[in-house]
Amino acid sequence: MKLLEKTGYVCSRAAGALGLFDVIAIGSSTIRLIQVKSGGEYLSGIEREAICALVVPPNVTRECWRLPTGCRSPLIEIL
């Protein structure tokens, strides 16, 4: 969230809420819906399918941010 806030996004965290997304980041012209995975975790097939099936407006991105152990920056996948 700090990375996003530094670039002007307002963020809301919903981790552990069993929803599709852990972070919702709202910028001046875009909205980013982010699922965060840490360690060696990847999106499951069910999670990926549910996220990709969600219909969103053109200015909204659906993303998975992976934070592998020891990595300082997230690996970002746009879904």
Question: What is the average pLDDT across 44-56?
Answer: 91
Provide DSSP, 11-59: EEE-TTSSSS-SEEEE-SS-EEEEEEEETT----HHHHHHHHHS---TT
Instruction: Report whether 61 contacts 54 (CB < 8 A).
Output: no
- CATH fold of 2-78 reads Trna Endonuclease; Chain: A, domain 1 (3.40.1350)
17-46 residue pLDDT tens: 677 898 999 999 999 999 988 887 888 888
Of 11-15, 47-51, 74-78, the range with the lowest mean pLDDT is 11-15
Confidence of residue 14 (pLDDT cuts 50, 70, 90): confident
Q: Could you state, in order of their start, the residue ranges of all structural domains in the chain?
A: 2-78
pTM to 2 decimal places: 0.86
Q: Return mean pLDDT, the chain.
A: 89
